[in-house]
Amino acid sequence: MPIMFGPLTPVVRAVLYANVIVFGLQWLTGPYLLPGLFALWPLNSAHLGQPPFEPWQLITYAFLHGGFWHIALNMWALYIFGPDVERLVGVRRFILYYLLCVVGAAITQLVVVQYLYPAPEATVGASGGIMGLLLFYGMAFPQRRLLLLFLPIPLPAWLFVTLYAALELFSGLFGIDQGTAHFAHVGGMATGLVMILYWRWQQRRRYQDWQG
């Protein structure tokens, strides 16, 4: 069946509003003030004459965006995939899942920049958390069909997620579109997968304890 759009859930609405408000502040204050403080800077950026890395950037970078289309695409994906995931897992787990995917994406990006592809640029955008939501959606609703604007062929969610993950990994490994933090996307998905498997293990253990 095709993907359906329902009303916004509380956390999805809050995240969407927060991103839009911060984007408005970026526009009002200029391109350097907020990114200089809250974007995700590489661990050695201070030695390169850039703003330093700070621990809070592991989360705050996900509320900054590099332009209109950047935030538009991320918030569109949040609107599509977020509400069903939040309704399925509940408010508290959704907040935990989303934030940990954001942090996991940030840590992956920091490690890659530090050891594999050194670069002085900062990372911004909610994509790490969004990719985690996309993975959860594909695993929870694998047979729902998604119709892509650039590929007018309905794809089951599980196939779309698999192809997207493979494309991000391939793009990161071979340096395609280097302005995009492909490894952050992969890190958000990987973090989400670990959490999903952990929650499933918890559920099985509780069921076994109840049976015993």
pLDDT tens, position by position, 23-53: 999 999 988 889 999 999 999 898 888 999 9
pLDDT tens, position by position, 91-137: 999 999 999 999 999 999 999 888 777 777 899 999 999 999 999 99
pLDDT tens, position by position, 152-199: 778 899 999 999 899 998 888 877 777 788 999 999 999 999 999 999
What is the CATH number assigned to the segment(s) 10-211? 1.20.1540.10
- Going from N- to C-terminal start, the domains of the chain cover 10-211
pLDDT tens, position by position, 125-141: 999 999 999 999 999 99
Please give the average per-residue pLDDT across 66-83, as a whole number.
94
Secondary structure of the chain in the HEC alphabet?
CECCCCCCCHHHHHHHHHHHHHHHHHHHHCCCHHHHHHCECCCCHHHHCCCCCCCCHHHHHHHCCCCHHHHHHHHHHHHHHHHHHHHHHCHHHHHHHHHHHHHHHHHHHHHHHHHCCCCCCCECCCHHHHHHHHHHHHHHCCCCEECCCCCCCCEEHHHHHHHHHHHHHHHHHCCCCCCCCHHHHHHHHHHHHHHHHHHHHHHHHHHHHHHC
